[in-house]
Every structure is written in structure tokens, then in C-alpha cells.
Structure 1
Amino acid sequence: MRIALLSSTLLLLGGCSSLSLDSLPSLPSLPTITGDKVLGFITPYRVEVVQGNVITKELAGRIKPGMPKGVVRDMLGTPLLTDAFHADRWDYTFTIARQGAAPQKRVVVAVFDGDKLKALEAPDDLPTEREFVASINTYKPGGKPPRLDLDEAERSRLPKPAKSAEAAPTAAAEGVAPGRVYPPLEAKAEPRS
């Protein structure tokens, strides 16, 4: 029984390996696994790869020549590439490949003179924070976004909060907002005699 099962499995696998898309004249438009869709309707999962430091126009604008290396590292993050032979150069490389969004790659170079920043070399097409978020956002809502605030007419229709008669004097005596009573964090110390 095992031999029959093994033989049929090997025959099926051997048949699959001899099948190629070129040998199927009736299916010339059948995409491959490297395309966007397989068999025209299955989208394979692709890992989203984000590597490096996101540096926007606003962030690059805060970096000024003469800043120490430590401050630059605090603001931009640890550089993705540092070279032992070029200790005065830090490369901030950023790449992202996300389904439904165009892949991006940018390189920002910080050049130092000793411990002080000499120059920050950034590409001209460095995005703003809003542009960057919009470029990686693959969610496209169908309508307009929901409103998160209330106008005066909507606020007036809200039910008024009930005031607690016993909580208000205690809260006022403690200096806390009315309607909120919190227990003391520490016991009050008794005066020593």
C-alpha cells in the first residue's frame, strides 16, 4: 500500500515539474507567482519591509550645522550605516516596500568635522510628515472621514451630568475638580507632641 501511494505521489510531482506556462497555448495570460495576482484573482502575501530612519523635511530642518554628534543621534536616531574608514560620515538610509504603495528609498547623509556637524545632505524630494503618511497609507475610505468634534447645538442636546451632593463639598475642600473624589495617596501625618 505504501509503495502504491509513494509511486502515485512521485508520478504527480513529476507531471507538475514538466508543466510550464509556455506549453499551455490556451492560457497565455496566466500570470506567474512573481506577478501581482496568481490565476487572476489570488493576491499572494508579501512581507512589508521597513528599514532605516524616517527623516522628514521638518526633522531635517531642525538639524543645524555645529550640533554635536550626540544631539544629531538623539534627533535623527542611530544611523543605519557607519563606516570605520569614514568616521565623520553617517548614512541614514530609509527603504519601505508595502503592498498597495509605491516602494520608497531615501538617503540622508550627516557629515561631521570632528564632533560637530558640518552639513546634512538630504534629497530635494524629502517629504513632509503629512506627505510621508499619505504615501504609505493604503487604506482608502469610500466617503468623507468621520467628524470627531461636536458643534454647540449637539453639545446642548447632551444630558447634563448629575451632581453628587456629598462629593461636591469634599472635592471643593480638597481643591479637586467638582464631582471627583480621590482617596489620599498617603496617610496624613499626626502632629508630634
Structure 2
Amino acid sequence: MMNLLGKQGAPRILSCAAACLLALTLGACSSIPVPNFPGVYKIPIAQGNIITQEMIDQLEPGMTRRQVIYVMGTPLVRDPYNQDRWDYVFNYQPGGEERGQERISLHFENDALTRFEGDFEPAEGAAWYSVSQDTAEASDTDAS
């Protein structure tokens, strides 16, 4: 009987199979984190509305929607079912480091800003600071 692979056919098939197996194995390892090489620049990634403490401090109770847009910019998310709530979200990842997120939700009644909630607190001297202090004192009085 004649050998169809020839004298060196079996080693050639084994080496091809080993190369294919190695390629598949390396392709499956794409979830392994890539090591940080010194001197390689990774760009910072920012998405959404930039939110700063200065912007929050400029917000005042009773501001109209247009005034809020002037201070904060157009909201990233406007709920189609609740037009009285605007959400501002800012995602950032500085140069391959840990990803962070800041958010704030503004609530309106009759086209006037009534409250906000999220990752920021009003600073001393801001218009909302006295409102938040009054609310905290009222809740302390109610609890007594």
C-alpha cells in the first residue's frame, strides 16, 4: 500500500495543526490586559457633559430652563416621559486609568428649577447652600 502523505507528510500536518492551535489560543486571550509599556501615551477619554463645582454653584432656585442651559449646557439625557427632569452625565477615563463618572439630575416645576440631586453638593455661599441647610434643619426638627 502506498503512503499518500509521503515521507514527511505527517510532521508537516502536525506542525500546521500546532500553528493553528497556537493562533486560536492567542486569539482567545484577547481579554488578558495588555501590559503598560513605559513611554506609551494613552489618550484621556471624556464623554458627556463636563460638570464642575462652579457650574453647580451658579444654579439658583427658580431658574428657567433657558438659564439652566446657559449655565450647564444642553442636558445629555431628556426623559421623553418626564420633561421636568434633566440628567447630566460625565464619563472620563484619564490615560488608561480607572474610569470615573459624575452625574447630576435637575428637576423643574412650571419651567422653574426646584431641586437637584447627584454627585455634587452646593458650596458655601451658593444660592442652593442656604436652601439645603434649611431643608436639613427642617428634617432634624421633624425627627425630634
- Output the TM-score relative to the length of structure 1: 0.45
The answer to whether 1:117 aligns with 2:124 is no
Question: Structure 2, unaligned stretches of length 5 or more?
Answer: 1-12, 123-144
Number of residue pairs the alignment of both structures matches: 108
Q: Secondary structure at the match of 1:55?
A: coil
Aligned to 1:98: 94
Question: Structure 1, unaligned stretches of length 5 or more?
Answer: 1-6, 22-30, 127-193
Evaluate the alpha carbon distance shift between residue 75 and residue 18 of structure 1 in structure 2; reply closer, same or farther with a 3 A threshold: closer
Aligned to 1:80: 76
Equivalent-residue separation in structure 2 for 1:100 and 1:15 (angstroms): 29
Q: 1:53 is matched with which residue: 45, 49, 53?
A: 49
Q: 1:17 is matched with which residue: 11, 24, 31?
A: 24
Q: 1:35 is matched with which residue: 33, 36, 43?
A: 33
**AA matched with 1:96:** Y
Whichever structure has more strand as a proportion of its residues is 2
Q: Secondary structure at the match of 1:96?
A: strand
Whichever structure has more helix as a proportion of its residues is 2
Equivalent-residue separation in structure 2 for 1:16 and 1:58 (angstroms): 53
CA-CA distance at 1:88 after TM superposition:
0.1
CA-CA distance at 1:95 after TM superposition:
0.6
Evaluate the alpha carbon distance shift between residue 67 and residue 42 of structure 1 in structure 2; reply closer, same or farther with a 3 A threshold: same
Structure ranking higher on relative contact order (CA contacts 8 Å, 6+ apart): 2
Q: Is the 8 A contact 1:36 1:43 kept in 2?
A: no
CA-CA distance at 1:55 after TM superposition:
1.5
Evaluate the alpha carbon distance shift between residue 14 and residue 101 of structure 1 in structure 2; reply closer, same or farther with a 3 A threshold: closer
Equivalent-residue separation in structure 2 for 1:18 and 1:103 (angstroms): 29
Q: Is the 8 A contact 2:65 2:112 kept in 1?
A: yes
Evaluate the alpha carbon distance shift between residue 37 and residue 58 of structure 1 in structure 2; reply closer, same or farther with a 3 A threshold: same
**AA matched with 1:84:** P
State the Cα RMSD in Å.
3.7
Evaluate the alpha carbon distance shift between residue 91 and residue 103 of structure 1 in structure 2; reply closer, same or farther with a 3 A threshold: same
Q: Secondary structure at the match of 2:92?
A: strand
